[in-house]
């Protein structure tokens, strides 16, 4: 038998058979990886039709994708799909109409409500507060098939969607973008049924926004150990965990503690960031002690927590990390001076939080099946996206077990983690519960909606400017923000446009082409600083004092610390001083000075000073050193008193002289290059 020979550059064998890895395109045998995948899918589909009870359809790529906003057409099609409705449409008579004020996006209506409109909206929200309900899982039993349970859940979810739509349309209410994917709500149902203690984690900067009161009622409605219908009363308990409590002062925590106690809510203050820093400091101290003792362990490796963030925002850390540490250190220093004797306002440690879980949990013997053992304590963690659920778990277990991200919606499905021999944690994906709102800008500022996906940025930045006083913004960023006064058509206050332009110029953010300030990019940086508490604002309890009074103490501490640091201010323009568009720096005044509106703007004042200065008035025969004046005489020139005769620069000063065009020196000419010409021969 001849020895097979390979021909270089080809996939065939000479003198032998064809290579087994190369299949003829016309072969009738369906072999290869692609055909194997298709055959597997077809086989699974046949098995699912024969035995539907043995299969659970869960696709983590598309089915568990969070959907908080839908267009009118998408909403209509998804509703028809949930209802299993078939319809036909006349293509020439189709007309999609969006109701005014209902379901409109922030890009179509980016403006904020006035003070009177906001008060009227809040009054209406409190009246219909009980109508906002979390979708309940319909009653089920183990004797029901998977198809029956699925259909029942779809019908109940569709009724819940319909009830919210009717309330929104009939009462002219505006909802926040809430979760519209049934698969994500099913994750919440599974967590509630498996948990004995449900911990709702909220952000300390706005507890009223992130707290879902109906979820606390739903926890008590779940029946039996597994939520099955007819298994008896449910004994689950709820706990409110106020995360990021280190951002609140002692007085602010005391006011929120009074509010929670008044409403009969079991709560606790916690800071996952402080717990993480404490663990890192303890680990560093132990490492230093081992080095001093001469003990080295090369087998142990420490895992670092990698937080995912946007690449363009990481560059900004060089601008902001120092100022953020200054403000945080100042708040911690003031906190250390006060001796806290109230256990309600104490920020718990990790060990104290674990003890609180055990004390707050119900009697586990009530969840013991007949003839079975007492189960482990299951603690379910639920809440809005980006409130720190995964960070809390990482602080509890002391190492990286859950992926953490600054972008909302990192956790896609619920996962269980064994904390100890007696406690198991159950992490639920972040859910955007239905809430009343005046605008989407509030959700962007609260970190619920992703900043990188927003289309309209002026309204959220306007909220930031209203909440943070101007001296604090200027001190943190080192800016001198100009404002339009009454003589320039403004009101003397700082607005979103003023901050965005000044920030973009100071950081060098420009658009491609014309080189105008990139306000959209500047807005993303400012809003992320607000969410990350570099620009700190905490909301007061409902019915209490105003937000300005609630944050006056913290902002004064931050302002004083930044003033002592003596940070230099950024330039207000990127051009040289000799350029006609140069604007001089603002007058240096202390940061604590009155920032109220002045009577005249700096530009208008400079224009008046130049016009009314001595020796600059107009005369009948004004003279100027030009022409014959070059030899010592004076030449008569025409009066320059009209706008078209003098050009005013951006600083209010007239631009003297014309456009200077340098005259070339030498014999260089501008004749065109020699080209081929027709001779004209052969033509009449």
pLDDT tens track for 481-519: 888 877 777 777 888 899 999 999 998 898 887 788 999
DSSP 677: -
Rounded average pLDDT over 648-654:
62
In the chain the first and final C-alpha atoms are separated, in Å, by 85
Structure letter (DSSP) for residue 622: -
Confidence of residue 562 (pLDDT cuts 50, 70, 90): confident
The C-alpha atoms of residue 205 and residue 550 are separated, in whole angstroms, by: 11
**What is residue 347's three-state secondary structure?**
strand
The C-alpha atoms of residue 269 and residue 352 are separated, in whole angstroms, by 11
Q: Which two tokens stand for residue 471?
A: 């001296």
- Does the pLDDT value for residue 650 go beyond 90? no
Q: How many residues can be counted in the chain? A: 684
What is the DSSP code string of 532-557? TTSS---PPPTTSS-HHHHHHHHHHH
539 domain-assigned: no
Q: Provide the pLDDT for residue 377.
A: 92
User: What gap in Å lies between CA 172 and CA 117, rounded to an integer?
Assistant: 13
More confident of the two residues 572 and 485: 485
Evaluate whether residue 17 is within a structural domain: no
Distance between CA atoms of 223 and 236, rounded to whole angstroms?
A: 9
Contacts of 39 (CB under 8 A, 6+ apart): 30
Three-state secondary-structure class, residue 289: helix
More confident residue, 396 or 399: 396
**Per-residue pLDDT tens over the stretch 158-189:** 999 888 888 888 877 777 778 888 988 999 99
In a domain, 333, yes or no: no
> Is residue 665 domain-resident?
no
Span of 115-119, 230-234, 459-463, 576-580 with lowest mean pLDDT:
576-580
pLDDT of residue 170: 80
Examine the pLDDT at 62 and tell me if it is beyond 60: no
pLDDT, tens only, 228-266: 877 777 789 999 999 999 999 999 999 999 999 999 999
Q: Please give the Cα distance from 363 to 201 (Å, whole number).
A: 23
Q: Which of 30-34, 483-487, 622-626 has the highest mean pLDDT?
A: 483-487
Reading the block at residue 649, the tokens are 């620069």
Q: Which of 51-60, 75-84, 354-363, 572-581 has the highest mean pLDDT?
A: 354-363
**Domain end marker among 402, 427, 452:** 427
Residue range 355-377: mean pLDDT, rounded: 87
pLDDT at 295 > cutoff 70: no
Token duo for residue 294? 């001469």
CATH code (residue 157): 3.40.50.300
Asked whether residue 318 is assigned to any structural domain, the reply reads: no
Q: What is the pTM of this model?
A: 0.66
CA distances from 402 to 355, 412, 417, 426 (A): 22, 11, 9, 11
| In a domain? residue 99 | no
Q: How far is CA 449 from the centre of its chain?
A: 5
Rounded to the nearest angstrom, the gap between the alpha carbon of residue 164 and the centroid of all alpha carbons in its chain is 26
Average pLDDT rounded to a whole number, residues 543-556: 87
Section 320-342 average pLDDT: 59
Q: How many domains does the chain have?
A: 2
Position 11 scores a pLDDT of 43
Give me the numbers of helices (H) and strands (E) for the chain, helices first please. 20, 13
Residue 680 lies in a domain: no
pLDDT bin (cut points 50, 70, 90) of residue 198 is very high
* Domain span at 194: 111-287+340-427
Does any domain span residue 368?
Answer: yes
The pLDDT assigned to 563 comes to 80
Distance CA 452, CA 137 (A): 33
Domain boundary among 367, 398, 427: 427
């Amino acid at each position: 038998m001849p020895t097979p020979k390979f021909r270089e550059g080809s996939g065939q064998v000479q003198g032998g058979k064809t290579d087994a890895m190369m299949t003829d395109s016309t072969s009738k045998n369906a072999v290869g990886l692609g055909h194997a995948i298709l055959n597997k899918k077809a086989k699974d589909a046949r098995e699912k039709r024969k035995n539907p009870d043995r299969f659970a359809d869960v696709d983590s790529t598309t089915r568990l994708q969070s959907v908080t906003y839908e267009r009118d057409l998408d909403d209509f099609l998804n509703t028809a799909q949930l209802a299993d409705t078939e319809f036909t449409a006349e293509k020439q008579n189709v007309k999609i109409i969006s109701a005014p004020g209902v379901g409109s996006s922030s890009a179509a209506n980016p403006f904020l409500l006035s003070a009177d409109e906001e008060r009227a909206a809040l009054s209406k929200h409190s009246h219909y507060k009980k109508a906002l309900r979390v979708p309940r899982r319909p009653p089920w039993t183990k004797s029901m098939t998977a198809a029956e349970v699925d259909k029942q859940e779809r019908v109940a979810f569709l009724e819940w969607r319909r009830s919210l739509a009717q309330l929104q349309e009939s009462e002219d209410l505006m909802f926040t973008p809430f979760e519209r994917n049934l698969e994500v709500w099913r994750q919440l149902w599974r967590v509630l049924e498996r948990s004995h203690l449900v911990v709702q984690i909220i952000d300390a900067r706005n507890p009223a926004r992130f707290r879902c009161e109906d979820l606390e009622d739903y926890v008590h409605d779940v029946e039996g150990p597994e939520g099955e219908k007819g298994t008896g009363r449910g004994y689950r308990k709820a706990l409110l965990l106020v995360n990021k409590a280190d951002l609140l002062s002692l007085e602010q925590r005391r006011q929120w503690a009074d509010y929670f106690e008044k409403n009969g809510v079991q709560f606790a203050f916690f800071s996952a960031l402080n717990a993480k820093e404490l663990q890192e400091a303890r680990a560093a101290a132990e490492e230093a002690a081992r080095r001093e003792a001469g003990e080295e362990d090369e087998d142990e490796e420490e895992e670092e927590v990698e937080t995912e963030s946007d690449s363009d925002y990481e560059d900004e850390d060089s601008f902001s990390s120092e100022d953020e540490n200054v403000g945080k250190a100042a708040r911690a220093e003031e906190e250390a001076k006060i001796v806290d004797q109230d256990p309600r306002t104490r920020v718990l440690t990790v060990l104290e939080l674990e003890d609180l879980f055990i004390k707050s949990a119900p009697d586990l013997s009530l969840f013991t099946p007949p003839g079975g053992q007492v189960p482990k304590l299951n603690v379910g963690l639920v809440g809005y996206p980006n409130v720190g659920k995964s960070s809390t778990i990482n602080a509890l277990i002391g190492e990286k077990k859950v992926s953490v991200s600054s972008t909302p919606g990192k956790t896609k499905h619920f996962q269980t983690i064994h904390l100890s021999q007696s406690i198991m944690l159950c992490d639920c994906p972040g859910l955007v519960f239905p809430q009343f709102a005046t605008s989407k800008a509030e959700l962007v500022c609260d970190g619920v909606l992703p900043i990188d996906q927003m289309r309209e940025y002026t309204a959220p930045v306007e909220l930031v400017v209203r909440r943070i006083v101007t001296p604090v913004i200027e001190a943190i960023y080192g800016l001198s923000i100009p404002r339009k006064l009454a003589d320039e058509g403004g009101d003397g206050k700082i607005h979103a446009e003023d901050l965005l332009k000044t920030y973009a110029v100071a950081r060098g953010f420009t658009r491609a082409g014309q080189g105008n300030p990139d306000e959209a990019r500047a807005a993303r940086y400012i809003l992320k600083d607000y969410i990350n508490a570099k620009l700190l604002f905490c909301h007061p309890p409902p019915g209490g004092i105003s937000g300005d009074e609630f944050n006056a103490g913290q902002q004064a501490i931050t302002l004083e610390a930044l003033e002592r640091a003596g940070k230099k201010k950024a330039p207000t323009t990127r051009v040289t001083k000799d350029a006609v568009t140069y604007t001089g720096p603002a007058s240096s005044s202390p940061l604590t000075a009155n920032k109220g509106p002045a009577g005249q703007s700096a530009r208008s004042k400079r224009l008046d000073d130049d016009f009314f200065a001595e020796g600059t008035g107009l005369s009948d025969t004004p003279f100027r050193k030009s022409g014959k004046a070059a030899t010592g005489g004076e030449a008569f020139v025409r009066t320059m008193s009209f706008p078209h005769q003098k050009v005013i620069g951006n600083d209010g000063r007239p631009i003297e002289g014309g456009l200077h065009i340098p005259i070339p020196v030498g014999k260089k000419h501008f004749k065109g290059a020699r080209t081929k010409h027709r001779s004209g021969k052969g033509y009449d």
